[in-house]
Structure 1
Amino acid sequence: MWPFCGNTRKNPPRLAQPPPTRWTTGPAVDTAPALCLPAALSVAALFATLAPAAAGAEDSDLRGPKPTIVLVHGAFADASSWAEVTQRLQRHGFPVRAVANPLRGLAPDAEAVRQVVDSVSGPVILVGHSYGGALISHAAAGEKDVKALVYIAAFAPAVGESALELSAGGKLGPDTTTTIGNDVYLRPDRFHEVFAADLPRRTTAQLAAAQRPVDAGALSAKATAAAWQQIPSWYLIAKQDNAIPAGSQRAMAARAHSHTTEVNASHAVSLSRPEATYATILNAVRGTR
């Protein structure tokens, strides 16, 4: 049985009292792009049709050699969820690697991310969304070329914590999921509500149909590394997230001393608010140059 089925807590978990945050909290970002997709659009073509924001001139402080941006998606998604963010990064000359997260378990998934990082020559900015945050926290441990961690509505567990604990109080659970074999899916009729409430329902219906399941034990696995203790981090908090409560995100960001920005967005913030996601990554690049 999937471990969420035994979870009856209604409030976000209490984290250890963090020391005073060292970083300045960034401004909230409030302007969301409108999305309108034809009904017959295939899922494969979905992300290519989302209109990008207008490209501005590259800032002078971003010229010259750039770090590789390694993007790690979470559960119920795939690497195409980064398409709009990738387009913006590549437009400004950043090398990008969007990891095909296996979603088979915390240890093997983190190792898959580490192998991608090790294949890159030069500095890396490691970015994780949702469950991908737990993976970058593991994969970056001991990696001297990882210059920053960027959490996008993501889990940043301490050693001994699980994603399951940190999502308490959200809408992930037995009422919104189904298990097939050892794979956990979001129920199609609840996908919009839980994962992407600020996207059109036609869009979320296609995302639900194409979702990639996560292994039933992955979200309950206890973290054995917390690279945010040694590596500077940035955190984009999705204030309307129904999967990881905003309060839990704030507590994790404060504990990690992350540079923090808040945005009006659902859990699918890389899709619904790609410009805010991109801006958070750029802030990490600037902060580590």
Structure 2
Amino acid sequence: MHATRFSLAVTALAAALTLPTAFAADAKPTVVLVHGAFADSSSWDGVAAKLEKDGYTVIGAANHLRSVKTDAASVASVLKSVSGPVVLVGHSYGGSVISAAASGASNVKALVYVAAFAPDAGETAVGLSGKFPGSTLGPALAPPVALADGGKDLYIQQAKFHGQFAADVPEAKARLMAVGQRPITDAALNEASPAPAWKTIPSWFIYGKADKNIPAASQDFMAKRANSKKTIVIDGASHVVMVSHPAEVAKLIEEAAAAK
């Protein structure tokens, strides 16, 4: 009798000890979202809400928009703080950042580029946006703001923000986005990228056909070069496709998260 009870206790203990491992194997990856230039983490609100509803832990990583090297180091620190697998998502210039930040990050299982740059070593955001015709960002920029260190901050003119950056977003929302936009240094947009993580980590791409910041042709080129697992092109979508089409963006992120 005592032997039977002991056997049952050992069996129960063994089962209990295996539960965390089984649970961990079924756990969803953490999704880390990195915003781009002229935006902030609130640009992911619609996407984050859908991901959280579906049971994902979501982190909106701060992107300081100062330089690819320092911004990538900041995001890399966030990645190190996450236990378990990560799907790393970048918008616009945030694509340059995640391409660098994921290098050497063993817990990043997938990269998702949302209307984003996916540069190769030595390439710049400015160079990639001008690789094919169609970007009208230059004329939409406001006069640069001189910084104490000799650098320059770039903003989009508020009167041109809606048409340039967020044409498929309601005007009232775009107006508030223009007011709250965060500047990027001209140096960051002209900084040569290091060796990219998309060469070793699977990637997914989504962008709008009506993007006026990064031409659709440039994004098609980068997606094909990265051997994108899946590329979604949304007719009529602007540069902020995650704001205007959060469901489609969230769905692609979840597909990347579920990929084996």
- Give the TM-score normalised by structure 1: 0.76
Q: Whose RCO is larger (CA < 8 A, sep 6+)?
A: 1
Deviation, structure 1 residue 176: 3.2
Percent pairwise identity: 48
1:282 equivalent in alignment to 2:247: no
Task: Give unpaired runs (5+ residues) of structure 2.
Answer: 1-24, 147-151
Partner of 2:168: 198
Cα distance in 2 between the residues matched to 1:177 and 1:246: 24
Contact 2:87/2:112 (CA < 8 Å) preserved in 1? yes
Find the structure with the greater CA-based Rg: 2
CA deviations on 1:124-162 (whole Å, 9 max, x unpaired) are 000000000000000001111100000001000000100
Cα distance in 2 between the residues matched to 1:98 and 1:79: 6
Partner of 1:262: 233
1:166 equivalent in alignment to 2:136: no
Task: Give unpaired runs (5+ residues) of structure 1.
Answer: 1-62
1:141 equivalent in alignment to 2:103: yes
Contact 1:263/1:276 (CA < 8 Å) preserved in 2? no
Cα distance in 1 between the residues matched to 2:84 and 2:252: 21
CA deviations on 1:175-230 (whole Å, 9 max, x unpaired) are 43331112100011111111100012221111101100001210000011211000
Cα distance in 2 between the residues matched to 1:118 and 1:187: 37
Matched residue of 1:275: which SS? helix
Residue of structure 1 aligned with 2:243, choices 271, 274, 279: 271
One-letter identity of the residue aligned with 2:245:
R
Cα distance in 1 between the residues matched to 2:101 and 2:50: 25
Partner of 1:177: 142
Cα distance in 2 between the residues matched to 1:176 and 1:266: 17
Matched residue of 1:173: which SS? helix
1:229 equivalent in alignment to 2:191: no
One-letter identity of the residue aligned with 2:109:
K
Matched residue of 1:177: which SS? coil
Partner of 2:32: 70
Partner of 1:207: 177
Cα distance in 1 between the residues matched to 2:101 and 2:181: 24
Matched residue of 1:186: which SS? coil
Deviation, structure 1 residue 267: 0.3
1:128 equivalent in alignment to 2:90: yes
CA deviations on 1:51-80 (whole Å, 9 max, x unpaired) are xxxxxxxxxxxx931100000000000001
Residue of structure 1 aligned with 2:74, choices 100, 112, 120: 112
Pair 1:193–1:123, CA change in 2 (3 A): same
One-letter identity of the residue aligned with 1:275:
A
Contact 1:71/1:99 (CA < 8 Å) preserved in 2? yes
Which structure shows the bigger proportion of residues in helix conformation?
2
Partner of 1:4: none
Pair 1:92–1:174, CA change in 2 (3 A): same
Cα distance in 2 between the residues matched to 1:73 and 1:194: 17
Partner of 1:220: 190
Cα distance in 2 between the residues matched to 1:178 and 1:99: 28
Cα distance in 1 between the residues matched to 2:75 and 2:97: 7
Deviation, structure 1 residue 263: 1.1
Matched residue of 1:126: which SS? strand
RMSD: 1.2
- How many residue pairs match? The answer is 226
Cα distance in 2 between the residues matched to 1:175 and 1:204: 15
